Amino acid sequence: MATLVDFRAEKPNWCPGCGDFTVLAALQKAAVNLGLEPENMVTVSGVGCSGKISQYMGGYGFHSLHGRSLPVATAVKTANKDLTVVAAGGDGDGYGIGMGHFLHAVRRNVDITYIVMDNHIYGLTTGQTSPTTDKGMKTKTSPTGATEEPVHPLQMAIMAGAGFVAQGFSGNLKQLTELIEKGMQHKGFSLINVYSPCVTFNKVNTYDFYKEHLVNVDEDASYDRTDRFAAIKKIEETNENLVGVIYENTDRLAFHEAISTFPEVPIAKNDLQISREDWNKVAAQFK
Amino acid sequence: MIKDLGWKVGGAQGEGIDSTGEIIALSLFRLGYYVSTYRHFMSLIKGGHTNYKVRVTSELTNHHGDALHMMFAFDQESINHNFHELVNGSILVYDTAIKNAEAPEKDGVNVCAIPLTDLAKEAGSPIMKNMVSVGVTAAAIGLTPDDFRSVVVDRFGSKGDEIVESNMAAMRKGYDYYNENFNHRLELPDRPEVKEERLFISGNEATSLGALAAGCRLLAQYPITPATEVMYQLIKQFPKMGGAFIQAEDEIAAVMMAIGGNYAGVRTMTATSGPGFSLMMEALGLSGISETPLVIIDVQRAGPSTGLPTKTEQSDVFAILYGSHGEIPRIVLTPRNVEECFYYTMEAFNLAEKYQCPVIVATDLYMGMNKQTVSSIDFDKFSINRGKLISDEELAELEKGAFKRFDVSVEDGISYRSIPGQKNGRFVAMGNESDEVGVEMEEPVLRTLQMDKRARKLANFNDNAGFDYAGAANAELLLVDFGSTGGLQYEVFKALEAEGVSVGHLTISRIAPFPMELAGYLKAAKKILVSELNSTAMLATLLKQQVGEHAKYESCLKYSGDPFLFEEVYAKAKEVADSLKKEVTL
Ligand SMILES: Cc1ncc(C[n+]2csc(CCOP(=O)(O)OP(=O)(O)O)c2C)c(N)n1
Ligand code: SF4
Ligand SMILES: [Mg+2]
């Protein structure tokens, strides 16, 4: 059985207090709790402070391009369905430059878990407006306050057909670990948006801010997370300041399950050689 | 000059022009002839002029030929558009259903007004005018409707015997009508003896078969003319071969998926054309620096931007050679004919895994979308070689965490690769410069070592020759080309050689790494004529940069969207050959 040590790699280089430490810790704990072996886990990340998580996480990693973790993760899972695949990155990475891939990954329902370290700011590039920056917040690129409507990733994921949508907070390692575990167990695409404060460039969305405002739906016995309209309502009512499993629907088949002709054996384990007999059949179409 | 018979049908898009052309081409193929075809079409689904040319020969050609001996026009535009191609002794058939049809007067063109639509109606349906045309063709070239029967059965058999028979009846109507009313006959070239199995196949189809034979089992692609057809065979065959297809949301996703699939141990590719290739540039660099194998097929079309989506060009050269910021090793293959689309695609997968870098197979619309006879394809020609993959046993012997995916000390620059799922093989594939395991770093010495390591990989590349040469060793006039222009220029070369011109033909199939061994031919020649389908002489520029000999170059360029005609290249080559003769006499 693998232990936490097996899921540790390089020592993280984030600013002291950065929310991403907690995300990494939660991911490591979740992997251990689920009994995963590091060699069977792949963490694919985009580019940003958050994107460095693939270097710090044990198991295989792919630190890809800004905004492009999801297509890579999609292909890794399709190539070898036996692997546990996590995609991870920032709010700019996932909801800015990678927004197209995000919605399509939801639709495609590939069996991967997508963790977005949402700090409402571009961290690595030192503090510009991000797609989730609150209206009115001043940043280096919005000196008079952001004017654009922020994207609403939770609602978008639900409306696009996601089967598992959760939100966590870097101030609550225990809950975040549970959310990631559940997301990884979900068969199909799971989104875990994490409020992961950037202590250096975002002085608005701080730990204290979230501690004060977050509503925990996991503690609300009356909350029906299988009702998508109730979920949307709750998200709007709380002004997106909620944590927990917000929406869950286990009806949809994952990408590799939904394709009736999808190979039984993981593609990566396939024999590449074609028999002469098969080849003759292929060639016969051109005679 | 090669003896041939040129046949064409033209009409509005959506009128069954392609299927008419294919019935003729496939039937003649089955009779043992070599056929080359060319489809002229537009980026529309209905309407707009389209035509399908078939060139019939008794030897292999990779060009659809200039000469037109028989033309079927389903509308006036087809007459206007193609009449000038008709040679002495040719036949123009037009449908009497065309209102106020007008055919120009030209000596030697036999104009036959035939009620194609009416005869089809008599046989059961006006849409069978194409089968009537096939019957007319049979009569004019000395074949019988039965010679076309097998193709009709294959096409319509699934719709029932009745449909097959009514199509045959339509064909017989055309056949009888021509025999009763006209006596002009065309001569087919000699029917060659069929010694080996052959295929009637397009470059795109050959490309997908090459991928299949190479063990490609994952394809990620976004539709684009003229690369779309690369998908279809793979989508069809994958279920039986244990593979899968992902229709990506765009080409950035497609190429990133191709990288992800290869990283996870599956031979994965993507195919595209110029606009999509432009979107893939950042990812090319990722494949290069992360040393992840990648195969991209670029079926070039006329650019820039959307350009001419249904027309051919060889103008992605610099994008393919240099596209993406920073410096990476890359391999660029330029198959010169349909058969090579198969072999080079197959080889591309071995090269991508051997060198752990991107391999781009640059074909083009001309050979990609047009079918022709090729001699049988040997799917065993390349055995699958996956390069330096470290085994589970080797990993088990290493100390925990000691595996160095990006080991800079390897002499050939190629370090061992592990695949997710292998114990003790952890590494991080990275877009950042990294240390030997996959941790980003900006340390100057190691950075330099990593760059050098990657550059070393292709330093002694000799997996294939990269070019072919025909002709005398010290030919004065050297004809140079790459990609699909090779087939045509070979014919030009043969024609000039037969005329006694001191000529050589250098045809290039790899532009990166550059096959420096060809330099001797450029140095030996007095004049170098480079024929290419672009406006800025990209191949010639590359040759000058790599080899020099700047004063010797002449270019034959075309960028109208249409492929070269024989006559265009021949005339230019002749002009250069004549100028050489003058130099001698001066
Ligand atoms: C194509 C491309 N454009 C721009 C960049 C520069 N860039 C790197 S990270 C980043 C934004 C990071 O913000 P986010 O994704 O929210 O991650 P964070 O640093 O906040 O974790 C940008 C714009 C890049 N690497 N690649
Ligand atoms: S800049 Fe912000 S996001 Fe980046 S490491 Fe520091 S605290 Fe974290
Ligand atoms: Mg951010």
Which tokens in the block code for residue B194?
A: 């069929």
Tell whether the model's pLDDT for residue B325 goes beyond 80. Answer: yes
- Position B585 scores a pLDDT of 62
Whether residue B172 is found in the same domain as residue B205: no
* Owner of token pair 């532009």: B511
Whether residue B61 is found in the same domain as residue B145: yes
Please report which confidence band the pLDDT of residue B331 belongs to, taking 50, 70 and 90 as the band edges.
Answer: very high
- Position B584 scores a pLDDT of 65
Please report which confidence band the pLDDT of residue A178 belongs to, taking 50, 70 and 90 as the band edges.
Answer: very high
Last-in-domain residue among B353, B381, B409: B381
- Position A158 scores a pLDDT of 98
Question: Which of B125, B93, B90, B119 has its CA nearest to residue B11?
Answer: B93
Find residue B489's DSSP bridge partners: none
Cis peptide bond prior to B293, omega within 30° of 0: no
Indicate the number of domains in chain B.
3
Q: What is the DSSP code string of B25-75?
A: HHHHHHTT-EEEEEEE--S-SSSSEEEEEEEEESS--SS--S-EEEEEESS
**A36-93: pLDDT as tens digits:** 999 999 999 999 999 999 999 999 999 999 999 999 999 999 999 999 999 999 999 9
Indicate the number of domains in chain A.
1
Using a 6 Å cutoff on CB, does residue A15 contact ligand 2? yes
In this structure, is residue B405 part of a structural domain? no
Per-residue burial over B8-42, b if 16 or more Cβ lie within 10 Å, else e, is bbbbbbebbbbebbbbbbbbbbbbebbbbbbbbbe
- Position B195 scores a pLDDT of 82
Nearest ligand to the CA atom of A200: 2
The CATH number of residue B40's host domain is 3.40.920.10
The CATH number of residue A239's host domain is 3.40.50.970
Query: For the whole model, what pTM was predicted?
Result: 0.97
Whether residue B229 is found in the same domain as residue B116: no
Tell whether the model's pLDDT for residue A179 goes beyond 90. Answer: yes
Cα of A185 from ligand 3 centre, angstroms: 26
Domain that residue A93 falls in: 4-284
Whether residue B370 is found in the same domain as residue B289: yes
**A269-284: pLDDT as tens digits:** 999 999 999 999 999 9
Q: Exposed/middle/buried for B275, CB within 10 Å: 0-12, 13-18, 19+? A: middle
In this structure, is residue B64 part of a structural domain? yes
Q: Which residues of A touch B33 (CB under 8 A)?
A: none
Q: How close are the terminal C-alpha atoms of chain B, in Å?
A: 31
In this structure, is residue B441 part of a structural domain? no
Whether residue B204 is found in the same domain as residue B350: yes
Domain that residue B109 falls in: 4-181
A267 and B CB contact within 8 Å: yes
**A195-242: pLDDT as tens digits:** 999 999 999 999 999 999 999 999 999 999 999 999 999 999 999 999
- Position B44 scores a pLDDT of 77
CA distance A167 to B467: 58
Whether residue B159 is found in the same domain as residue B232: no
**A89-140: pLDDT as tens digits:** 999 999 999 999 999 999 999 999 999 999 999 999 999 999 999 999 999 9
For residue B234, give the chain A residue with the closest CA. Answer: A282
Neighbours of B473 (CB within 10 A): 9
Contact B246/A78, CB-based, under 8 Å? yes
To the nearest whole angstrom, how far is the Cα of B234 from the nearest Cα of chain A?
10
- Strand B467-471 versus strand B503-508 pairing type: antiparallel
Tell whether the model's pLDDT for residue B503 goes beyond 70. Answer: yes
Please report which confidence band the pLDDT of residue B581 belongs to, taking 50, 70 and 90 as the band edges.
Answer: confident
Whether residue B163 is found in the same domain as residue B240: no
Tell me the average pLDDT of chain B. 96
The CATH number of residue B564's host domain is 3.40.50.920
Whether residue B148 is found in the same domain as residue B229: no
* ipTM score above 0.85: yes
Strand order in the sheet with B358-364: B244-247, B218-221, B268-272, B294-300, B358-364, B331-333, B510-512
Q: What's CA B539's distance to the chain center, in Å?
A: 17
Which tokens in the block code for residue B424?
A: 């003790």
Neighbours of A74 (CB within 10 A): 31
Whether residue B340 is found in the same domain as residue B376: yes
Last-in-domain residue among B323, B354, B381: B381
In this structure, is residue B548 part of a structural domain? yes
Whether residue B208 is found in the same domain as residue B315: yes
The arithmetic mean of pLDDT across residues B336-359, rounded, is 98
**A265 → closest Cβ in B242, B426, B431:** B242
**B239 → closest Cβ in A72, A261, A265:** A261
Whether residue B474 is found in the same domain as residue B518: yes
Cα separations (Å) of A61 from A87, A157, B493?
10, 25, 54
Please report which confidence band the pLDDT of residue B586 belongs to, taking 50, 70 and 90 as the band edges.
Answer: low
**Probe site for chain A from B339, B382, B439 (most A CB atoms < 10 A):** B439
In this structure, is residue B452 part of a structural domain? no
Find residue A195's DSSP bridge partners: A118, A169
Whether residue B216 is found in the same domain as residue B363: yes
To the nearest whole angstrom, how far is the Cα of A215 from the nearest Cα of chain B?
35
- Structure letter (DSSP) for residue B406: T
**B413-424: pLDDT as tens digits:** 999 999 999 999
- Position B194 scores a pLDDT of 85
- Position B528 scores a pLDDT of 98
Last-in-domain residue among B150, B181, B212: B181
CA distance A180 to A167: 10
- Position B388 scores a pLDDT of 98
Q: CB within 5 A of ion ligand 3: which residues?
A: A 90-91, 119, 123
